């Protein structure tokens, strides 16, 4: 029986149990996905306790994605470059850390909009926090012409550039500067928390001047229709909702734990219903 789980704080409202139970059901695997809520000031004791359980793997969420690194035996190059771990595989007593967030994002957007990956495309990332870091790094592995980063604090966006070891050009800019040249982007991604419940009417940037064919993508999934996505739709752009990244980061983690392949597309409609039921 597979023993899986999640550490973080707070985690009562996590969608991960739903996701991993659906995956287990799909491949008829017997297992459990448990929530281990750890108070941030009791992190060390919490992890020591976790080490006594015979887990096959676990997810790590806010605020522990960096702190878990000190407890790992190994970290893969992707998680190391991002400096954050969201998935731990427990193998023969060793803990190995991965980060599936950015790759999950890319799997999701690629499955919805494969044309974005055909070359000659320009990307604008809005935000330069932890989520942006993973997505930026994953996008750098693809064949985009440029990936620019706009952030409220431009120094933070500047820091993000250090994980770019490719030849691809990335400019850092303010939201005001980005707003002046929105028509050059094929994909615009909000990685900030702006627009998340309860700030339903907030959007990090107004979408005036975007091209009709541009895909506007929001990693916020509650609400399903963020103000940014409503604006995009109204301007005739294509939209990509935040729940996809969530399901696909789980798919990659689950496949690492179990070695089984998951058909996430099949689960997506039910997953969407579960998200909408909570909104």
> Active-site residue numbers?
65
* Site stretch for ligand ATR (CB under 6 A), options 8-16, 148-156, 227-235, 253-261: 148-156
H/E stretch holding 101 reads helix 101-112
For residue 32, state whether it binds ligand ATR (rule: CB under 6 A).
Answer: no
DSSP state of 212: T
Peptide bond into 63 cis (omega under 30): yes
Please select the residue that binds ligand ATR; options are 150, 204, 228, 232, rule is CB under 6 A: 204
3-state DSSP assignment of residue 255: helix
For residue 152, state whether it binds ligand ATR (rule: CB under 6 A).
Answer: yes
For residue 83, state whether it binds ligand ATR (rule: CB under 6 A).
Answer: no
Subset of 106-145 contacting ligand ATR (CB under 6 A): 127-132
Name which of 162 and 212 has its Cβ closer to ligand ATR.
Answer: 162
Residue nearest to ligand ATR (CB): 129
Whole-number Å distance between alpha carbons of 135 and 67: 20
* Site stretch for ligand ATR (CB under 6 A), options 18-26, 152-160, 209-217, 260-268: 152-160
Whole-number Å distance between alpha carbons of 202 and 278: 20
Minimum Å distance from CB 65 to ligand ATR?
A: 8
For residue 153, state whether it binds ligand ATR (rule: CB under 6 A).
Answer: yes
Minimum Å distance from CB 128 to ligand ATR?
A: 5
Please select the residue that binds ligand ATR; options are 110, 156, 230, 233, rule is CB under 6 A: 156
Pairing of β 146-150 and β 122-126:
parallel
Minimum Å distance from CB 276 to ligand ATR?
A: 22
Backbone angles phi, psi at 67, to 5 degrees: -65, -30
Residue 266 CB burial class (10 angstroms; 0-12, 13-18, ≥19): exposed
Whole-number Å distance between alpha carbons of 164 and 233: 32
Pairing of β 146-150 and β 172-173:
parallel
For residue 194, state whether it binds ligand ATR (rule: CB under 6 A).
Answer: yes
For residue 61, state whether it binds ligand ATR (rule: CB under 6 A).
Answer: no
3-state DSSP assignment of residue 205: coil
Could you count the other beta carbons within 10 Å of the beta carbon of residue 276? 12
Minimum Å distance from CB 130 to ligand ATR?
A: 3
Contacts with ligand ATR: how many residues (CB under 6 A)? 15
Q: Which of 244, 178, 187, 183 is nearest to 215 (CA)?
A: 187
Name which of 155 and 277 has its Cβ closer to ligand ATR.
Answer: 155
Binding site for ligand ATR (CB under 6 A): 127-132, 151-153, 156, 191-194, 204
């Amino acid at each position: 029986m597979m023993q899986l789980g999640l550490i973080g704080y707070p985690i009562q409202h996590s969608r991960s149990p739903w996701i991993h139970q659906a995956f287990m059901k799909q491949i008829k695997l017997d297992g459990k996905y448990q929530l281990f809520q750890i108070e941030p000031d009791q992190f060390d004791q919490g992890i020591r306790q976790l080490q006594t359980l015979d887990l096959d793997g676990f997810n790590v969420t806010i605020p522990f994605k960096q702190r878990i690194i000190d407890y790992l035996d190994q970290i893969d190059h992707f998680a190391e470059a991002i400096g954050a771990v969201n998935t731990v595989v427990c193998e023969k007593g060793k803990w190995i850390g991965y980060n599936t967030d950015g790759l999950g994002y890319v799997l999701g957007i690629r499955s919805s909009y494969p044309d974005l990956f055909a070359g000659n495309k320009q990307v604008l990332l809005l935000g330069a926090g932890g989520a942006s870091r993973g997505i930026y790094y994953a996008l750098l592995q693809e064949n985009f012409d440029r990936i620019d980063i706009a952030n409220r604090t431009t120094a933070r966006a500047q820091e993000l550039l250090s994980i770019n070891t490719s030849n691809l050009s990335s400019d850092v800019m303010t939201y005001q500067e980005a707003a002046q040249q929105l028509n050059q982007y094929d994909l615009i991604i909000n990685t900030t928390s702006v627009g998340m419940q309860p700030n339903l009417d907030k959007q990090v940037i107004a979408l005036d001047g975007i091209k009709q064919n541009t895909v506007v993508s929001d990693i916020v999934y509650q609400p399903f229709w963020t103000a940014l996505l409503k604006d995009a739709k109204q301007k005739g752009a294509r939209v990509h909702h935040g729940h996809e990244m969530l399901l696909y980061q789980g798919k990659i983690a689950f496949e690492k734990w179990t070695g089984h392949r998951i058909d996430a597309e099949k689960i997506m409609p039910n997953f969407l219903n579960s998200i909408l039921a909570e909104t």
